[in-house]
Amino acid sequence: MSNVNVAIVGATGAVGTKILEKLLARKFPINSIKLLASKRSAGKEIVANDQRFIVEETQPEAFEGVDIAFFSAGGHISEMFAEEAVKRGAVVIDNTSAFRMVEAIPLVVPEVNLDALRQHKGIIANPNCSTIQMVAALQPIREKFGLKRLVVSTYQAVSGAGAEAIAELEAQTKKFETRADIKAELLPSADGEKHYPIAFNAIPQIDAFDDSGYTLEELKMMNETKKIFGLPELQISATCVRLPIVTGHSESVYIELDQEGVSVDDLRGVLSHAPGIVLQDDFMAQSYPMPLFAEGKDEIFVGRLRKDPDHPTGFHLWIVADNLLKGAALNSVQIAESLITIRTS
């Protein structure tokens, strides 16, 4: 498996496009790349890194000879085709929520739980975007000081809902000056009955609601975090909010450590050496992470570190990352890179 035959399912989407770009940019050892999408997109030409690719229709036979298949075309497509790909010998790296909470399927952020990869049986799940950046940033803190509890509020960009959501924000923004004829047809949830403008607004709903009153996005953060950390007893509760930001998710994360007596400087110390993390936390210089400046970057930016004056183990962090890159495409490609390292080591 020195040179890999790769397939990307959902190659025309916001994340699929970035997976192709990252594979080429990071010089992944590719033998061939097959771009798969719906029948409607079949025949479409995609150019990346000066190479031309023709999109093919996703069908079971398309996975013949494929070594690694990236899936990012919605949960139902993964449910339809992932097993077909595995049956034909491919390892599937799935970027949808279809298999994330299946116990036997590893849910992997390489900086956090690379070991889980070794147990895969053909399918590896890539966590939700808002989960990835949080657990990767918290991992060095958890390793050194222990994590007891998380209270999270997110500030999420529209690109997390796909290219059409970006178009919706842009169209609404243009019409906003006159406030006339603003159409909301997609957000907060394409499947929902009601749609609300996102331009100059905050929508406290991402994905559909569960009977508990939590949204699926909130439950993903809560459940996936416990699974990735292997900490079923971790207390975690989240509020997820969509905002008029194109790309870059931000998170206001409140943590309680297992240990007392930890200082902000102790947290800075472990974060400053952590893989994939950029500590951007110099408040005197007004230096802190912001989504506008995280766009297009591979790293996770962490700042606004503060001790809760009223709680002995409580701290705040502000965590920002490009939701299409580390939140999705980059993490998937890093999983693939780790697979190769494991096999060849």
Question: Under the rule (CB under 8 A), what is the footprint of its own copies?
Answer: 149, 151, 153, 155, 170, 173, 176-177, 188, 192-194, 196-197, 200-205, 209, 212-214, 222, 234-237, 239, 241, 243-246, 248, 250, 252, 254, 264, 283-286, 288-292, 303-311, 314, 316, 318, 320
Instruction: Give 261-270's long-range contacts (Cβ < 8 A, gap of 24+).
Output: 262/145, 262/313, 262/315, 263/307, 264/305, 264/306, 264/307, 264/315, 266/144, 266/145, 267/141, 267/145, 267/305, 267/315, 267/317, 268/305, 270/140, 270/141, 270/143, 270/144, 270/145
Q: Which residues contact 180 (CB under 8 A, 6 or more apart)?
A: none
Q: Which of 118, 30, 27, 26 is nearest to 8 (CA)?
A: 30
Task: Provide, rounded to whole angstroms, the least separation between the CB of residue 254 and its own copies.
Answer: 5
| Cβ closest to its own copies, residue 281 vs residue 299 | 281
Q: Which amino acid is at 135?
A: V
Task: Provide, rounded to whole angstroms, the least separation between the CB of residue 253 and its own copies.
Answer: 9
| Cβ closest to its own copies, residue 5 vs residue 131 | 131
Task: Provide, rounded to whole angstroms, the least separation between the CB of residue 302 and its own copies.
Answer: 11
| Cβ closest to its own copies, residue 91 vs residue 158 | 158
| Cβ closest to its own copies, residue 26 vs residue 179 | 179
| Cβ closest to its own copies, residue 13 vs residue 289 | 289
Where do the H-state alpha helices sit in 106-236? 110-113, 129-145, 163-175, 216-229
Task: Classify residue 213 as exposed, middle or buried by CB count within 10 Å of its CB (0-12, 13-18, 19+).
Answer: exposed
Sign of the Cα pseudo-torsion (321, 327, 329, 332, in order): positive
Catalytic residue check, 240: no
Task: Provide, rounded to whole angstroms, the least separation between the CB of residue 282 and its own copies.
Answer: 10
Name the active-site residue from 249, 273, 311, 316.
Answer: 249
Catalytic residue check, 249: yes
Name the active-site residue from 120, 129, 273, 311.
Answer: 129
Task: Provide, rounded to whole angstroms, the least separation between the CB of residue 244 and its own copies.
Answer: 5
Order of strands across the sheet that contains 147-155: 235-239, 147-155, 249-257, 314-321, 300-307, 277-279
Catalytic residues: 129, 249
